[in-house]
Chain A
Amino acid sequence: MALIASPAALAVAILLAFAPSAFGFFTPQSGGSPNADSIDTLYKIVLYIALFVFVVVEGALGYALYKFRARRGRVAKQTHGNTRLEIAWTGAAVAIVVVLAVITFIKLGSIINPVNSDPSGAKLVGQTGVFFASAEKRLPPDHKALEIEVIGKQFVWQYVYPGAINKDGLGAPYTYEQMVVPTHTTVLLKAISEDVVHSWWIPELGGKIQVIPGRPNYTWFKIDKPGIYRGQCANICGRGHARMIASVRAIPPAQFEAWLARQKRWLAEANAEAAKMRANLESKKGPASVLNP
């Protein structure tokens, strides 16, 4: 019976075994963007408080079970309660949640409010008007950010960049599955779904947002380390849900500018090509060409 119901001991053992080697074992992913790092810090503070409560309460339970097990001559004490003690532990519980609330309020700003881009990124988003975020959502203090529209649909992610090449606002550059972004630049995401509910989640770049039809949802990140950050759709969206993957490739601002220009050029070329074919088809009269363009 010495071993009885002592998950506390077990947990402590696991902690000791893993703590030095991989603290990441117990924490969410982070390191890509300041908001992800802030969530990670907040999580760790909650974790420490939780561990304290866990050890105290499981310890008290284990101790009671061991110490007060039935033995020869043991007589149960017939108490019905202890009002002072009960008020005390209710107060302790309240105190803990108050502390949690205060800590959350302290960290909240750094998670929900976008930061300014670094100079190199700010130069990028400051150059042309189209890079200004426009909507009424949270902006960085300098109001400069790159806004990308994330469109969720069964079972692929599409990203639409600013900079429509047509006068009617259409023809903006876009990619599927992999989003390319500049480093050192604050990126605002506006997410909307074309069909069912999805959820945008790149763990290292911060929390997730539900992507639903009819109501845009917003988040942001700012990446300093070039590289590829991976994630996938987090809300069940049908049979292909597990394969609805996403990645964000961060490249230096100069490279990004070149990449975006190239995308626009390709898009313009493809559009010109299509226009030529259309004109060609329209010039040839006859039912076949209309029915089967």
Chain B
Amino acid sequence: MATYAAPIPQVSAHKVDREQRGFISWLTTTDHKKIGIMYMVTTFIFFIMGGTEALMMRLQLGEPENTLIAPRVYNELFTMHGTTMIFLFVVPMMAGLANYFLPLMIGARDMAFPRLNALSYWLLLAGGLVFYASIFWGPPEAGWVSYPPLSEIAFSPSGGQDAWIFLIHLTGISSILGAMNFYATIANMRCRGMSWGRLPLFVWTILVYSVLIIFAMPVIAGAVTMLLTDRHFGTHFFDPAMGGSALLWQNLFWFFGHPEVYIMVLPGFGIVSEILPVFAKKPIFGYKAIAASSVAIAFLGFLVWAHHMFTTPTPIVVLIFVMLSSFLIAVPTGVKIFNWIGTLWEGSIEFKTPLLFSAGFIALFLIGGISGVFLAVFPVDWQLNESYFVVAHIHFVLMGGAVFTIFAAIYYWFPKITGRMLNETLGKASFWVMFWGFLATFLIQHVIGLDGMPRRVYEYANVGNLGLYNLISTVGAFILGFGILLTIINVARSVKHGAIAGPDPWKANTLEWFTTSPPPVNNFDVIPRVRSAEPLKDYRLEIEKATAPRVPVPAGSGADSESGHLGA
């Protein structure tokens, strides 16, 4: 190799802004990490609000013919709860995690459009505030699906319904801008050597999440705009008496609504695909199949919306088509589950809290997937639709699915964000309490639905064992709530008092662990060459080879202690 003169830095700055500190720094930031933290904190606060609404509903349902909560308030509660959990918690929480970790994982120094990124966050917050402001004059009551004519002005005169519409608009624009940003970042800002086949699987799922948002969100934005003009400007899109169609809304809503389900769970699939290999000390099993099945799910996800409309007057051939496409979507989902189990197989599994939540996710999500197949068989759905069976199904996929992965992510990435570890004992306790509390709350709801109890009712007669079953569910909900509280306490304590984490406490595989915890503003001073999907493991191996000869230790096994010294 020829010798050459050491390069001299050519950058000269004319003016360097002083670093902002304190409150102002948060208001004005365009740093993806700060924006990510704001996303995560904001959405978690909404999660607590949505959870409180849920517990109030469960309190009302704890005994038959309870009169604790008025019918109107109950309707407001399930509408606020469902809307909050979906639009203000799960979807933007995934955006928050992606904001923080996507640039780090692909070795970028920020998102492609940092200011647009800040705008996404502020629009989200605006949507949440507009929506929750409605509690001062009357929240919406028509459910998170807001079917007209019930959501039309004749039946829902309260401005709460309009607040709901503006929430969809604001969070929708926020999501679309965020999705464009993620897409541009992934497409253009990967570091050297990070080809598509080496992209971390979480990044793959965020890519698919973004594409789904870009295709699905404009549809619901259009639909709620039509609802808005119906309500206030004299149009009749959804009013059959004037030539409109009530069914049109259901088609538009679910054309968005089903992909929305995958928008919520796919990033969780990505999180689990990151965590399992780290704690099983094995490469992910079938990288290509996992990435490809995400893409397949995204495509099929646009063909199945009418499975939410099996009881509408629709020709049988259409129902059959939708049933078959819904069956088909179970296949790539099943493939993922097999691949995760394959990842654990013959590994050396360390039961740290992130692994527990990931394994719990697989166990619970499987149940949600299986109940989903029941619902896809349309004659069977005719019995189960709009009953508590569906409530159970929703929560198995969204709570057992998405939320458990979010908790896994919290335990896994908290050390990177704060530089401190969460307490393991408290974390494990939180997991087990949540796990059993969840099962107690939602398993029995399948039976409640089979026994004929419809969803969205504020009271029920005590026929059969309905009183007992609902009591079990209510007690379970409070156990579940307590489990969540344990994690909140854990986070609050560990921010200040947790053990120092170091750059790579888990001996993980992806680039975010290459930098310090928390990472500096520019993320990386140097970025290692990426030669596989597990750049950090390669790096560890290299160092191992370079250091003094000793007894060879297999890659990734717990005996290796060198990686503690890694980092920029």
Contacts and interface: CB of A to CB of B under 8 A. Distances in A.
Nearest to A108: B379
Given A64-B341, A237-B150, A70 B72 contact: no
A7 B334 CA distance: 18
Given A28-B384, A50-B370, A215 B240 contact: yes
Interface stretch (B123-131, B201-209, B324-332, B412-420): B324-332
A208 interface: yes
A5 B285 contact: no
Interface stretch (A75-83, A127-135, A248-256, A261-269): A75-83
B323 A90 contact: no
Contacts of A107: 379
Nearest to A81: B286
B348 A216 contact: no
B401 to A, nearest CB: 14
B40 interface: no
Interface string B51-63: 0000000000000
A86 B335 contact: yes
Interface in B313-352: 313, 316, 323-324, 327-328, 330-331, 334-335, 337-339, 341-342, 344-351
Contacts of B385: 199, 207-208, 234
A218 interface: yes
A223 to B, nearest CB: 17
Given A26-B450, A197-B149, A76 B311 contact: no
Contact of B377 (A46, A76, A94, A242): A46
Contacts of B450: 25-29
A186 interface: no
- Chain B's interface size range is 35 or more
B50 interface: no
A217 B312 contact: yes
Given A46-B374, A76-B282, A236 B143 contact: yes
B360 A5 contact: yes
Given A81-B285, A93-B334, A239 B311 contact: no
Nearest to B285: A81
Contact of B347 (A68, A82, A111): A68
Contact of B454 (A101, A234, A238): A234
Given A69-B349, A236-B143, A79 B456 contact: no
Given A57-B366, A68-B346, A76-B554, A199 B386 contact: yes
A195 B149 contact: yes
A36 B383 CA distance: 9
A195 B364 CA distance: 39
A239 B75 contact: yes
A196 interface: yes
Contacts of B286: 80-82, 86
Contacts of B351: 1, 4, 69-70
Interface in A111-135: 111-112
A269 B459 CA distance: 40
A16 interface: no
B149 A76 contact: no
A212 interface: yes
Interface in B225-284: 240-241, 245-247, 280-284
Contact of A80 (B287, B313, B335, B374): B287
A91 to B, nearest CB: 10
Contacts of A68: 280, 344-349
Contacts of A112: 316, 379
Interface in A191-242: 195-197, 199, 201, 203, 206-210, 212-218, 230-242
A203 B366 contact: no
B451 interface: yes
Given A79-B283, A199-B311, A212-B312, A233 B454 contact: yes
B342 A242 contact: no
A54 interface: yes
A233 to B, nearest CB: 7
B382 interface: yes
Contact of A242 (B387, B458, B556): B458
Contacts of A28: 380, 383-384, 450
Interface in B118-161: 141-143, 147-150, 155
Contacts of B312: 210, 212, 215, 217
A12 interface: no
B386 to A, nearest CB: 4
B554 A78 contact: yes
Contacts of B150: 196-197, 236-238
A234 B453 CA distance: 8
Contacts of B348: 68-71, 74-76
A10 interface: yes
Contact of B383 (A39, A75, A154, A213): A39
A220 to B, nearest CB: 12
B313 A239 contact: no
A38 B463 CA distance: 24
A63 B73 CA distance: 46
A216 B339 CA distance: 46
B426 interface: no
Nearest to A103: B377
Given A27-B450, A238-B155, A54 B370 contact: yes
A235 B349 contact: no
A97 B332 CA distance: 12
A85 interface: yes
A42 interface: yes
A53 interface: yes
A210 B313 contact: yes
A206 B360 CA distance: 36
Contacts of B374: 43, 46-47, 50
A14 B362 CA distance: 20
A283 B440 CA distance: 71
A210 B147 CA distance: 12
B447 interface: yes
B27 interface: no
A60 B558 CA distance: 25
Contacts of A242: 71, 457-460
A76 B556 contact: yes
A93 to B, nearest CB: 4
Given A201-B454, A234-B386, A78 B155 contact: no
A215 B313 contact: yes
Given A101-B327, A215-B313, A46 B349 contact: no
B116 interface: no
B104 interface: no
A50 B556 CA distance: 37
Nearest to A213: B240
A61 interface: yes
A65 B312 CA distance: 44
Given A74-B348, A154-B155, 15 more contacts: A28-B380, A46-B377, A50-B374, A64-B341, A65-B359, A80-B286, A199-B386, A206-B382, A207-B383, A210-B312, A212-B313, A215-B245, A240-B71, A241-B75, A242-B458
Interface of A: 1, 4-5, 7, 10, 25-29, 36, 38-39, 42-43, 46-47, 50, 53-54, 57-58, 60-61, 64-65, 68-71, 74-82, 85-86, 89-90, 93-94, 97, 100-101, 104, 107-108, 111-112, 154, 195-197, 199, 201, 203, 206-210, 212-218, 230-243
Shortest beta-carbon contacts, A-B, top 9? A207-B382, A214-B240, A242-B457, A97-B327, A76-B281, A81-B286, A28-B383, A77-B346, A196-B150
20 contacts: A7-B439, A29-B450, A42-B380, A68-B280, A68-B345, A70-B281, A71-B348, A77-B346, A78-B555, A80-B285, A94-B331, A104-B379, A111-B379, A154-B155, A199-B311, A201-B454, A230-B463, A236-B456, A238-B150, A242-B458
